[in-house]
Amino acid sequence: MAATPSRFRDLGVGSRFRAAEVAGCGPGSAGWDHAGVDSPSVTAVPLRLVVGDEELLVERAVADALAAVRAADPAADLRRVSAAGLTRAELAELVSPSLFAEGRVVVLEAAHEAGKDVVAAVGEYLADPADGVSLVVLHAGGARGRALVDLVRGAGAAVTECARLTRYDDRVDFVRREVRRAGGTITADGARVLIDAVGNDLRELAAAAGQLVADSAGAVDEAAVRRYHRGRAEVTGFAVAEKAVVGDRAGALEALRWATLLGVPAVLVADALADAVRTVARVAAAGRADPNRLAGVLGMPPWKIRKAQGQARGWRPAGVALAMAAVAEVNAEVKGTAADPGYALERAVLRVIAAREVG
């Protein structure tokens, strides 16, 4: 067994890999911070496992691993390679010790695509790791390629979970942590309006959060978001959809025209319209129960259910069926079957409003 290099020994890592330390990237967990959301200090370790496919969080985990190693060895090199098609010889070369004792961070990407030879080669390396090499294994999650995950985890890797943020509340939490990371604070309403204005892409949300903190002296609220995004929060597809499902013909058409002028993609407007109609249908079918109790059943946050309950007033089953047909049709049209997506959207909005009047 090769001796542990001084750059790792000085950081408290023994002659074998440290016992697994699990850090999640999900909200509320320590690894959320380790993924760079709050920029804490990160300890360099010779073996890391990053599980999940939320791209921004995965890249932050890699950046943290590199920064931690370079804190002890500023000359440390970074090498990235995909496990797909990697050979034993190539892996052996990547993880072999440097002749000049220089540090190296090797990032093994797409570990879920690793073949049996690569898994075996990694196992051999883990049995006798090289001095000065920090191996970071990226796995997208799921059952595929679990053998390599189990192998690396069993060797005592520091584990960071970076699952995709699919829940709306998780994205709200992400925005609030990004604003805090930039040195500011944001209200819950401000975070929601920011998501409506920017969308669900974490990179764009992170950039917008940082800019808002810089432009607002640190205190961000709903008014600040609307002001600095020049009204985009008012004219997203969600704004169009919300006005349509409550029967506001003039407001829905005005919002649609502004959205078109500002370049909001037709697909996003169609998706928002479909989501609004589906939400009204599900909430209406569930009855007037307590939103907090319905949240677990419907898989929606209570505030969204409460809002949809108000929107559902005036809708009848026959009208909901007509609206569902309208949004399904426009979804196909804006993705290629319509010659004029803008006209298709306007017609769909009018059909949804008319469906609300069906008794």
Strand-pair partners of 49: 137, 159
The whole-number pLDDT of residue 29 equals: 43
Residue type for position 63: A
pLDDT value at 273 more than 70: yes
Evaluate if residue 270 carries a pLDDT over 50: yes
- Mean pLDDT is highest, among 107-116, 261-270, 337-346, for 107-116
Contact 268, 236 (CB under 8 A): yes
Query: What is the arithmetic mean of pLDDT over 329-357?
Result: 89
The mean pLDDT value for 116-142 works out to 91
Residue 329 pLDDT > 60: yes
Mean of pLDDT values over 49-63: 93
> Closest Cα partner for 247 from 193, 305, 323?
323
pLDDT, residue 289, reads 80
Q: Which of 216-220, 263-267, 338-342 has the highest mean pLDDT?
A: 216-220
- 1-5 average pLDDT score: 38
Phi, psi of 176 (to 5 degrees): -65, -40
Query: Which pLDDT value is given to residue 2?
Result: 40
CA distance 71 to 86: 29
Of 341 and 348, the structure prediction assigns the larger pLDDT to: 348
Candidate from 53-57, 165-169, 233-237, 346-350 with smallest mean pLDDT: 233-237
Mean pLDDT (whole number) for 145-171: 92
Residue 48 has pLDDT above 90, yes or no: yes
pLDDT at 152 over 90: yes
pLDDT value for 224: 86
The total number of residues shown for the chain amounts to: 359
Question: Residue 13 has what pLDDT?
Answer: 34
**Inter-CA distances, 224 with 59, 168, 213, 326, Å:** 29, 21, 10, 36
Torsion sign, CA atoms 331, 336, 337, 340:
positive
CA distance 314 to 320: 10
pLDDT band at 345 (very low <50, low <70, confident <90, very high): very high
pLDDT score, position 135: 94
* Cβ-based neighbour number of residue 318 at 10 Å: 11
Q: Find out whether 178 and 209 touch, Cβ atoms under 8 Å.
A: yes
What's the confidence (pLDDT) of residue 99?
67
List of domains in the chain: 6-161 (3.40.50.300), 168-232 (1.10.8), 235-356 (1.20.272.10)
Q: For position 3, what pLDDT does the model report?
A: 38
Asked whether the beta carbons of 58 and 162 are under 8 A apart, the reply is: yes
Could you tell me the pLDDT band of residue 232, with boundaries at 50, 70 and 90?
Answer: low
192-197 — which CB contacts under 8 Å span 24+ positions?
193/222, 193/225, 193/226, 193/233, 194/225, 194/229, 194/233, 195/168, 195/171, 196/233, 196/236, 196/238, 196/239, 197/225, 197/226, 197/229, 197/232, 197/233, 197/236
Q: What share of the chain has pLDDT > 70, as a percent?
A: 84
Higher pLDDT pick, 25 / 157: 157
d(CA 52, CA 112): 11
Q: What percent of the chain has pLDDT over 90?
A: 38
Higher pLDDT: 275 or 289? It is: 275
Q: How far apart are CA 301 and CA 291, in angstroms?
A: 8
pLDDT at 34: 42
pLDDT of 106 over the 90 cut: yes
User: Please, which pLDDT band fits residue 235 given cuts at 50, 70 and 90?
Assistant: low
Q: What is the pLDDT of residue 159?
A: 94
* Residue 336: HSE in the Cβ half-sphere, 13 Å Cα cutoff: 0
Average pLDDT of the chain is 82
- pLDDT tens sequence across 94-105: 888 766 667 889
Measured CA to CA, the distance from residue 308 to residue 313 in angstroms comes to 9
Asked whether residue 83 carries a pLDDT value surpassing 70, the answer given is yes
